[in-house]
Amino acid sequence: MDLKSLIRDIPDFPKPGILFRDVTTLLSDPVGLRYTIDLLAQKCSEIELEVDYIIGMESRGFIFGAPVAYKLGAGFIPVRKKGKLPAAVHAIEYQLEYGIDTLEVHQDALVPGSKVLIVDDLIATGGTAEATAKLVQKIECELVGFGFIIELRDLQGRKHLPDVPIISLVEY
Ligand code: PRP
Ligand code: ADE
């Protein structure tokens, strides 16, 4: 299936010069959505069959991460933007393609030593994924890999990530 044909390009969003890869058009396509989740889950299971948790980043990482966790029989852990999680958190600041932000995870969300896979819709500069990997480190879990729908190759985000398998379904 041609996933690129279901992803919409919006120039100059959210800032001039950014070509925004919009997955809402992929999500609203029933066949495309199922195909995407099935393929991502299959590729993630090839990295590690017995994953304990999928971690997904707010907000588009939730949409893809939770169904992948369901398919793999893993738990799902939300990594959220600052101030959204109710219990004690680990926090980390990070740089976005278009700004700076803070990500947080509950300190007691994962059992230390667990196997964790990070899932998001897209890797651009890699700042979000790198920050999330550092949160996984803080909780003393084992990061086994990353799964993305989209990779923006020119931004070389993967060079900021730890040396574990990185999956992307579509490259620009
Ligand atoms: C987007 C995207 C990734 C991140 C990738 O999220 O969903 O999480 O940017 O960029 P990076 O590789 O340069 O860090 P965003 O922070 O825009 O939040 P959203 O999912 O809530 O729109
Ligand atoms: N997140 C960071 N860069 C992005 C882009 N170009 N399109 C969609 N989401 C993004």
The answer to whether residues 169 and 39 touch, using CB atoms and an 8 Å cutoff, is: yes
The answer to whether residues 104 and 82 touch, using CB atoms and an 8 Å cutoff, is: yes
Distance 98 CA to ligand 2 centre (A): 9
pTM above 0.90, yes or no: yes
Active site residue 60: yes
In tens, the pLDDT along 82-111 reads: 999 999 999 999 987 667 899 999 999 999
Active site residue 158: no
Identify which of 18, 60, 62, 161 to mutate to test ligand 1's pocket (most ligand atoms within 8 A of the CB). 60
Name the residue among 15, 20, 21 with its Cα closest to residue 3.
21
Residues of the chain above pLDDT 70, percent? 99
For the chain, domains (ranges, CATH) are: 48-171 (3.40.50.2020)
Q: Which two tokens stand for residue 23?
A: 């997955």
Q: Which two tokens stand for residue 96?
A: 């976005």
Region 25-34 average pLDDT: 98
The answer to whether residues 78 and 63 touch, using CB atoms and an 8 Å cutoff, is: no
Q: Which of 21, 48, 60, 130 is catalytic?
A: 60
Distance 31 CA to ligand 1 centre (A): 24
In tens, the pLDDT along 30-54 reads: 999 999 999 999 999 999 889 999 9
Per the DSSP assignment, residues forming a β-bridge with 99 are 96
Which residues surround ligand 2 with Cβ inside 6 Å?
18-21, 97, 122, 124, 152
Residue type, 5: S
Per the DSSP assignment, residues forming a β-bridge with 54 are 76, 117
Tell whether the model's pLDDT for residue 62 goes beyond 70.
yes
Mean pLDDT taken over the chain: 96
Place of tokens 């966790």: 69
